[in-house]
Amino acid sequence: MSSSSERIWFKSSYSGTEGDNCIEVAVDPQVVHVRDSKDITRPAFQVGRDGWAAFVRYAARG
């Protein structure tokens, strides 16, 4: 697994540039790392790729 400084973080395309509430994600082979985009110094949490996929499917349903 890569270290936090080596990860490539992605922010939602719906996130604005004015400090909106948003998360960032970075994908490793086995896990997805999730962090608060307003405070990137706090530790990210990890979720399995299957769990992340299930969350995204649920969120997409609205």
Q: Distance between CA 38 and CA 6 in Å, rounded?
A: 19
CA distance 8 to 21: 19
- The whole-model pTM stands at 0.76
Q: Over the stretch 9-35, which tens digit does the pLDDT of each residue have? A: 998 776 666 656 788 999 999 999 999
The answer, yes or no, to whether residue 4 has pLDDT greater than 80, is no
Report the pLDDT value the prediction gives residue 3, as an integer from 0 to 100: 61
Over 80: is that where the pLDDT of 57 sits? yes
